[in-house]
A and B are shown apart, each in its own frame.
Chain A
Amino acid sequence: MEEEERRRIVVVGATSAIAGHCARIWAQRGPTDLVLVGRDAAKLEHVASDLRVRGSASDIRIVQLDFLDTEEIASTVASIAQEPIDIVLIAHGALPLQDACQTDLALCRETLEVNGVSPVLFAEAFAGAMDENREATIALIGSVAGDRGRKSNYVYGSAKGLIDRYAQGLQHRFYGTKIRVVLVKPGPTDTPMTARLRAEGASLAPAAGVARRIVNAIDKGRGVVYAPCHWSLVMRALRCLPDFVFYRLNI
Chain B
Amino acid sequence: MKPVSSWGRLDAHFHQLVGLYDAGSVGDILSRKNPGIAYGMGRSYGDVCLNPGGLLWVTTGLDRFIAFDEETGVLTCEAGVLLEEIQKIFIPRGWTLPVTPGTLQITVGGAIANDVHGKNHHVEGSFGDHVRRVRLIRTDGETIEAGPELQPDWFAATVGGMGLTGVIVDADIRLKPIKGPWLDAETIPYENLDEFFELADASEAEWEHTVSWVDGLSGKFGRGIFLRANPVEAFQREPRAWAVSVPFTPPFSLANPLAMRCFNSAYYEFRKRRAGRSVTHCDAFLYPLDCIREWNRIYGPSGFFQYQLVVPRETGKDAVQAALNEIVLAQEGSFLAVLKTFGARDALGMMSFPRPGVTLAMDFPSRGERTQRLFEKLDAIVKNAGGRLYPAKDARMPKALFEAGYPRVEEFLKYRDAGISSGLSRRLMGI
Q: B-contacting residues of A (Cβ < 8 Å)? A: 17, 28, 43, 46-47, 49-50, 53-54, 56, 190-192, 195, 198-199, 201
Contact = CB atoms under 8 A, between A and B. Distances in A.
A201 B2 contact: yes
A53 B18 contact: no
Contact of B65 (A54, A190, A192): A54
B89 A195 contact: no
B233 interface: no
Given A54-B89, A56-B93, A201-B2, A49 B67 contact: yes
A199 B17 contact: yes
Interface size class of B (residues with CB under 8 A): 10 to 19
Given A46-B66, A54-B65, A56-B93, 18 more contacts: A17-B61, A28-B89, A46-B64, A49-B65, A49-B66, A50-B64, A53-B65, A190-B19, A190-B61, A191-B21, A192-B21, A195-B21, A198-B19, A198-B58, A199-B16, A199-B17, A199-B18, A201-B17
Interface string B350-363: 00000000000000
Interface in B21-63: 21-22, 58, 61
Contacts of A195: 18-19, 21
B22 A192 contact: yes
Contacts of B21: 17, 191-192, 195
The B contact surface, by secondary structure, is strand
A43 B21 CA distance: 11
Contacts, number: 45
Contacts of B64: 46-47, 49-50
Nearest to A51: B65
Contacts of A56: 68, 93
A85 B22 CA distance: 30
Nearest to B77: A53
Interface string B85-99: 000010001000000
B22 A50 contact: no
A50 B61 CA distance: 13
Contacts of A28: 89
A177 to B, nearest CB: 37
A36 to B, nearest CB: 13
